[in-house]
Amino acid sequence: MFVLKIVNNENLKQYNTFGINTIAEYSVRLEDESNVAETIEFAKSRSLKTLILGGGSNLLFTQKDFNGLVIAIRNSGIETIEEDSTSVLVKVKAGHDWDNFVEQTVLMGYSGHENLSLIPGLTGAAPIQNIGAYGQELQNICEMVEYFDTEKMKGKIILNRECSFGYRTSIFKESIKGKFIITAVYFRLQKGFVPKTAYGSISEKLSKMGVTKPTPVDLRNAVISIRKEKLPDPKVTGNAGSFFKNPVVKIEKLKILQETFTDIPYYPATEGYVKLSAGWLIEKCGFKGKREGNTGTAPGHALVICNFGEATGEEIISFAYKIKDSVFNKFTVEIEPEVNIIT
């Protein structure tokens, strides 16, 4: 019989990339998905609030204590489910390190996910905000998501088309929020290779590397190199990547903004809308590289809020809201956190 190994009063500092000190009243590591039901039953029987923890790279603890049960997802493994002449379907367990999965499968010659290299965190969290980078999004390679429905207390598999994927969103952030534990994700990877090199400085980076006909490994290396130049390493400086999402506004709104801010950058979005650059808006408000006590924005990227010392979650959130207010006052544009705020 499975015995829950519950730990009392564990400090979660090393389990969140912001490096915030938060004490979990109870915590448990889930190394086998077959134990999800018992774990949830335990929490329900004691009316404990729960928090599902992946790699802790997209959340901010704002309290000194988490009163409830933290369930760290730690099941791991990659399995080939089916294969034909052009593609493979792989099942990746939720607790498997995302970039380890990308690295292993790129080295096997599979492609489709190489632009998503070096994104921190675990595979189970990846569908939740439909991770994206360098012209690729998870929704283009994810076939199905397996999860445990914590209300109905049973396992389910949903297909890509049922996931309501969008820019940094999915069904997991909307209609079924807080009612699921993702246990595995299925990806369709390609054997042939069509490189996606249109985004930002990828082509420039590849030519600097002396690459004219990139392989998936070359593209992965180019993306890794750009990311290392741009983003602070959370092992050195606490952060959770982009703190805010890029705001999506109506084209009419862009036109009004362009009357005053002629050089405002914008990118295509769904019909009738454009995506603005939150980093640019924040920089124009004077926040790039700005420090306030132990917190501030990264010197090289205004969208990344950092913990430069022993910042508390409260300090970080109040700095973030100062940025949000400032952007609204200057541009009348609302920027919303991408990071999950844990209260």
Footprint of ligand EPU on this chain (CB under 6 A)?
133-134, 200, 230, 241-242, 245-246, 265, 277, 279-280, 283, 288, 301-303, 338
Asked if residue 233 lies in contact with residue 240, where contact means CB atoms within 8 angstroms, the answer is no
Query: How many Å apart are CA 92 and CA 77, to the nearest integer?
Result: 6
How far from the centroid of its chain's Cα atoms is residue 287's Cα? 23
Task: Name the strand (E) or helix (H) holding 253.
Answer: helix 251-260
**C-beta of 36: minimal distance to ligand EPU in Å?**
27
Q: Write the binding mask 189 to 218 for ligand FAD: x where contact by CB under 6 A, - elsewhere.
A: ------------------------------
**C-beta of 79: minimal distance to ligand EPU in Å?**
28
| Chosen residue from 60, 106, 125, 206 binding ligand FAD by CB under 6 A | 125
Catalytic residue numbers read 168, 242, 338
| Chosen residue from 19, 214, 234, 247 binding ligand FAD by CB under 6 A | 234
Whose Cβ is closer to ligand FAD: residue 74's or residue 290's?
Answer: 74
Task: Pick one of ligand EPU, ligand FAD, none as the site partner of residue 275 (Cβ within 5 to 8 A by kind).
Answer: none
Please choose, from the candidates 4, 18, 37, the residue with its C-alpha nearest in 3D space to the C-alpha of residue 309: 18
Contact region for ligand FAD (CB under 6 A) — 2-10, 122-130, 199-207, 278-286? 122-130
Task: Pick one of ligand FAD, ligand EPU, none as the site partner of residue 124 (Cβ within 5 to 8 A by kind).
Answer: ligand FAD
Name the residue with tokens 């409260």. Answer: 314
Please choose, from the candidates 57, 64, 43, the residue with its C-alpha nearest in 3D space to the C-alpha of residue 118: 57
Asked if residue 243 lies in contact with residue 335, where contact means CB atoms within 8 angstroms, the answer is no
> Which residues, numbered 242-271, are part of the site for ligand FAD (CB under 6 A)?
none
Does residue 182 touch ligand FAD according to CB under 6 A? yes
Task: Pick one of ligand FAD, ligand EPU, none as the site partner of residue 239 (Cβ within 5 to 8 A by kind).
Answer: ligand FAD
Does residue 316 touch ligand FAD according to CB under 6 A? no
Pairing type for strands 78-83 and 154-159 reads: unpaired
**C-beta of 252: minimal distance to ligand FAD in Å?**
28
Q: How far is CA 132 from CA 187, 208, 342, in A?
A: 15, 24, 22
| Chosen residue from 117, 129, 139, 312 binding ligand FAD by CB under 6 A | 129
Alpha helical stretches, state H, 176-267 = 202-208, 216-230, 251-260
Task: Pick one of ligand FAD, ligand EPU, none as the site partner of residue 54 (Cβ within 5 to 8 A by kind).
Answer: ligand FAD
Asked if residue 168 lies in contact with residue 132, where contact means CB atoms within 8 angstroms, the answer is yes
Which residues partner with 284 through β-bridges? Answer: none
**Strand order across the beta sheet in which 273-276 lies:** 248-250, 273-276, 266-268
Whose Cβ is closer to ligand FAD: residue 206's or residue 305's?
Answer: 305
Whose Cβ is closer to ligand FAD: residue 265's or residue 300's?
Answer: 300
Task: Pick one of ligand FAD, ligand EPU, none as the site partner of residue 56 (Cβ within 5 to 8 A by kind).
Answer: ligand FAD
Task: Pick one of ligand FAD, ligand EPU, none as the site partner of residue 226 (Cβ within 5 to 8 A by kind).
Answer: none
Name the residue with tokens 């180019």. Answer: 222
The 10 Å Cβ neighbour count of residue 61 is: 28
Whose Cβ is closer to ligand FAD: residue 90's or residue 182's?
Answer: 182
Does residue 317 touch ligand FAD according to CB under 6 A? no
By three-state DSSP, how is residue 41 classified? helix
- Listing DSSP states for 78-121 in one string gives EEEEEE-SSEEEEEEETTSBHHHHHHHHHHTT-BS-GGGTT--S
Question: Which two tokens mark 107?
Answer: 């080295």
* Positions that interact with ligand FAD (CB under 6 A): 17, 51-59, 73, 94, 119-122, 124-126, 128-129, 131-133, 180-182, 231, 234, 239-241, 340
